Amino acid sequence: MFVEISYLKQSTVVVLLILSVSAIGCLSATRPILGRISLNESISDGQTLVSGNFVLGFFSPGTSSHRYIGIWYNSDPNGTAVWVANRNNPVQDTSGILKFDNGGNLIVSDGRGRSFIVASGMGVGNVEAAILDSGNFVLRSIANHSNIIWESFASPTNTWLPGMNITVGKLLTSWKSYDDPAMGDYSFGLGVVNASAFIIWWNGREFWNSAHWNGDINSPIPELTSIDIIPVSFRCDNLTCTYTPNPSDRLTKIVLDQTGSLSITQFDSEAKSWVLLWRQPVSCDESKLCGVFGVCNMANIHILPVSLDSDQSPCQCPKGFAKQDKSNTRKGCTRQTPLQCTGDKFIDMPGMRLPDPRQKVAVVEDSGCQSACMKYCSCTAYAHSLSDGCSLFHGNLTNLQDGYNGTGVGTLHLRVAASELESGSSSGHKLLWLASVLPSVAFLIFCLVSFIWIRKWKIKGKEKRHDHPIVMTSDVMKLWESEDTGSHFMMLSFSQIENATDNFSTANKLGEGGFGPVYKGSLPNGQDVAVKRLAANSGQGLPEFKNEILLIAKLQHRNLVGLLGCCIDEDELVLLYEYMPNKSLDFFLFEQSRRAFLVWAMRLNIIEGIAQGLIYLHKHSRLRIIHRDLKPSNILLDTDMNPKISDFGMARIFDPKGTLANTKRVVGTYGYMAPEYAMAGIFSVKSDVFSYGVLLLEIISGLRNAGSHRHGNSLNLLGHAWELWREGRWYELVDKTLPGACPENMILRCIHVGMLCVQENAADRPSMTEVISMITNENANLPDPKQPGFFSMLLPTEVDIREGTCSLNDLSITGLDGR
């Protein structure tokens, strides 16, 4: 096998390098050779590794200027990536480097000092990263190449390559857009309930099902057997599927695109392009999906099966048209009243993707364009814009799309019989006066009542203000004036906060945080935010408030909640965060009906996301931070159910050169605090690891660790898990509401990692870098866990303890500030 390294867009240099390798058998010591890099080598932006049909290097997708490490087919002239290492963590410029850090981990770093772990070396020592002829990028032992420590095939993005195994729980995830490879709305994999069928999920809900595989045919996609050329042959057994191309030497890929469609394509070496052989499910881009005059609504395209017999179907008929066949969308819509050629009217359809073909007419005014259409009995619609002029459309129109995001969008004026617009007009005139007057009267009444209420509220507010007004402290002011918070950090007045939250209305209240209520707010630009208001009568929280500003403003990671701004106005202290529409993890995890929504793939994504966030806090952020209050209510979930760590009021900066710190004021939540921290005030990164372990076991079991309830013969979840683990009955810990068949090996691995994280001795617990490697690396050998901390104690839930000694059932603690 001949493998080479090349510089992108420098073919002359490529040839010289190849000749150099052939002639003298070596390259500069600073350049990677033979398709692999070792501990003292790196890949810079502009360099590539080539192995067989595949290339690895930095690239920018579409029109994006961001840089990513990816793999693509060598023959593909467009260089479309089939795998992306840092899909959620792009490099902002061309300063990116792929290299090993001092711990033997493979990382992507940039010129700004930021880095992202691609794969952990698991402490093996002498390792190398190599791209194989199969397109699999691996981390392996130099001494034994069969010892694969990590592989890209185990962490796919949106593409399934030949030879790659898809198992239950291992999912393809779509790109967010053509220009952004970040995780999108769609995922693909084997069914959890029925592992003999392929399923596409849209935001966690089933979107498409390949139907059941009976085991007698060679494909879990029965539709493939009905096409002329079967492009691939599947082999599925033991909850695992792989495939081989047909013919076997044809470059093939299966891709889940950003619209949720799964496609099988093969490369035409003569045309130098990819040929589409199969695609499901359909999208609005599918030709004539909704038939003649049928309008495909992009907002409803996720609703399958496609049917006209629903108001929420992606295929709808315009006004004046009726459904031709409810069971077949491709038959489209038919006119209820035929056109009369003279006297016809037009209905306006804004935001439409304009169809083709079209006739261009040289007129300036919209009225002139309409008149031009009326001259032809065959003209069924027209469109006019200052930029594109007048376009006429003739005959039956197809491929109409509403809500299209691309180019060629405008208002389509569709021609209908005059009678279609005249029906119901008389009753409309009768209601016109009421429709215009009543809203005005209601608005005046609303304004009067609001004015009286606001005035009373402000008077009461002034009477309640206490005598320690807060001013803009110097360190917060310096932060605001510096560039540390980024250009989007906002300093708002209290009146702006009031307007955003509708005067802190109860309808906008999201919940109660550690130091006060949290509201949903809407800024003038339409952006939704979460507004955290420090309780007005509380002396608690002033240091935590400033702590949160100074810490979070410097932190940027996809698994941390972003701080958008703040307000410091007399005694009003307010923080603005990015709004998380799916609330917090405890909202789903500890309520049985909602917990069933958390399928295994979603839980695993949450487990891994929290771990990545903690790795960033402990190791890669500008300030090394210990969170100290990790729990389900502090894990917020975005639109895609991705986890984001929140509430940094308790967080502490630590010296990376030191390992332990001590505090006289223990803060946090019982059930999640490490024993050395709760009992002696000693904390380290291993304190967060303990909290993470508790959280991991709660996610798998759906049970709280702390509380007045018992788990089996144990007083808390850790004791219950320890008892089951020692007796080999770990499977009894798994949440009974978890739907369908789940990957037992992966669940066992996660429970094993959770038990390692909650070990009583902090020195025995793994680091978060080791945790993520243990979870993602199926080949990693895990040590046996020792007994957990607090495993024989009954722990209270979220109890607020002040000075003094409090006896809490079996546990007696002195001088703790908990919550």
Which residues contact residue 445 at a Cβ distance below 8 angstroms, ignoring those fewer than 6 apart?
Answer: none
Q: Which helix (H) or strand (E) holds 460?
A: helix 425-464
Query: According to the per-residue pLDDT averaged within each range, which of 272-276, 413-417, 445-449, 560-564 is highest?
Result: 413-417
Long-range contacts of 4-8 (CB under 8 A, 24+ apart): 4/35, 4/50, 5/31, 5/32, 5/33, 5/35, 5/47, 5/48, 5/49, 5/50, 6/47, 6/48, 6/50, 7/46, 7/47, 7/48, 8/46, 8/47, 8/48, 8/57
Q: What band does 636 get if pLDDT is binned at 50, 70 and 90? A: very high
Q: Which helix (H) or strand (E) holds 351?
A: strand 345-353
Residue-wise pLDDT for 685-703, tens only, equals 999 999 999 999 999 999 9
Q: What band does 2 get if pLDDT is binned at 50, 70 and 90? A: very low
Residue-wise pLDDT for 255-270, tens only, equals 999 988 889 999 998 8
CA distance 293 to 203: 30
pLDDT of 137 reads 96
Percent of the chain residues topping a pLDDT of 70: 72
- What amino acid positions are annotated as catalytic residues? 629
CATH superfamily for 474-578 is Phosphorylase Kinase; domain 1 (3.30.200.20)
Burial letters 178-190, b for 16+ CB under 10 A, else e: eebbbbbbbbbbb
pTM confidence score: 0.45
CATH number attached to the domain at 587-814: 1.10.510.10
Query: According to the per-residue pLDDT averaged within each range, which of 27-31, 412-416, 787-791 is highest?
Result: 412-416
Which residues contact residue 351 at a Cβ distance below 8 angstroms, ignoring those fewer than 6 apart?
Answer: 402, 403, 404, 409, 411
Residue-wise pLDDT for 577-595, tens only, equals 889 988 899 988 988 778 8
CATH superfamily for 3-155 is Bulb-type lectin domain (2.90.10.10)
pLDDT of 227 reads 44
Helix (H, G, I), strand (E, B) or coil at 113: coil
Fold observed for domain 295-421: Hepatocyte Growth Factor (3.50.4)
Q: Which of 192-196, 642-646, 811-815 has the lowest mean pLDDT?
A: 811-815
Q: Which of 195-199, 594-598, 613-617, 795-799 has the lowest mean pLDDT?
A: 795-799
